[in-house]
């Protein structure tokens, strides 16, 4: 798959968004270009033999463009967090449209497979929409720094869930929320709540380090 440029920093994104709202087409195009890695990442969830990844990237890019054009910076979230939902929605609309023309949709219907060849159903995608894709990309691209934060700011239970969910240390098996729930003998929804709380802590630690210029 094509390699895309790295995302903008928080400060760069803020400056481009301001210019974009003032009608700067160059800033708008840069916001789209520098978030293409997010599109490619999300498309991996929907990889299927019958549909080319490049086609899915094209559809996902439509969602990204819609996100850039409709994003409200006053909401207090990063563009990528908002864009991930728009990209997901655009791809899901494609799959649902195709299903509607072929047969009735069931939550157990397969919509393809992941990069490891595991079948993905609609119910898996609905669960996946709860996940903050931006945080996962952040973890993978800043692993050494975030390993330090994981050990510094998370509780023991939060550490265990984050390590299992994201395959840390690098190369370890990644577990689904359902698998972790079974291993830890707690509900999947509780795993989800703990994961979200932990990711929020990690994002704050990372953003603080970026703001203060920590290495």
Could you state, in order of their start, the residue ranges of all structural domains in the chain? 10-126, 135-212
CATH level 3 topology of 10-126: Rna Polymerase Sigma Factor; Chain: A (1.10.1740)
pLDDT at 105: 45
Say what the pLDDT of residue 112 is. 59
- Digit-by-digit pLDDT tens for the chain (215 residues) are 467 888 888 889 989 999 999 999 999 999 999 999 899 888 887 765 445 778 888 999 999 999 999 998 887 788 988 899 899 888 888 877 765 544 444 445 555 555 555 555 555 544 444 445 555 555 555 566 677 788 889 999 999 998 898 787 666 788 998 999 999 999 888 898 898 898 888 877 766 665 444 54
Quick one: pLDDT at residue 103? 44
Tell which residue, 4, 11, 165, 3, has the closest CA to residue 78: 11
pTM of the model: 0.47
pLDDT value of residue 51: 53
Name the fold adopted by 135-212.
Arc Repressor Mutant, subunit A (1.10.10)
What is the predicted pLDDT for the residue at 145? Answer: 67
């Amino acid at each position: 798959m094509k390699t895309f440029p790295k995302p903008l920093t928080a400060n760069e994104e803020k400056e481009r968004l301001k210019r974009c709202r003032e009608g700067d087409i160059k800033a708008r195009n840069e916001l789209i270009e520098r978030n293409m890695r997010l599109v490619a990442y999300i498309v991996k969830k929907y990889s299927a033999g019958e549909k080319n990844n490049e086609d899915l990237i094209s559809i996902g890019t439509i969602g990204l463009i819609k996100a850039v054009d409709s994003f409200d910076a006053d909401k207090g979230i990063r563009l990528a967090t908002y864009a991930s939902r728009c990209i997901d929605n655009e791809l899901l609309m494609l799959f649902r449209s195709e299903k509607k023309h072929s047969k009735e949709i069931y939550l157990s219907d397969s919509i393809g497979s992941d990069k490891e060849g595991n079948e993905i159903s609609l119910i898996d995608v609905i669960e996946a929409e709860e996940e903050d894709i931006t945080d996962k990309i952040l973890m993978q691209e800043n692993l050494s720094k975030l390993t330090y934060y994981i050990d510094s700011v998370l509780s023991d239970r939060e550490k265990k869930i984050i390590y299992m969910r994201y395959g840390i240390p690098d190369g370890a098996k990644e577990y689904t929320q359902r698998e972790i729930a079974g291993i830890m003998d707690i509900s999947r929804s509780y795993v989800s709540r703990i994961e979200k709380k932990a990711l929020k802590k990690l994002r704050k630690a990372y953003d603080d380090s970026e703001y203060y210029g920590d290495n």
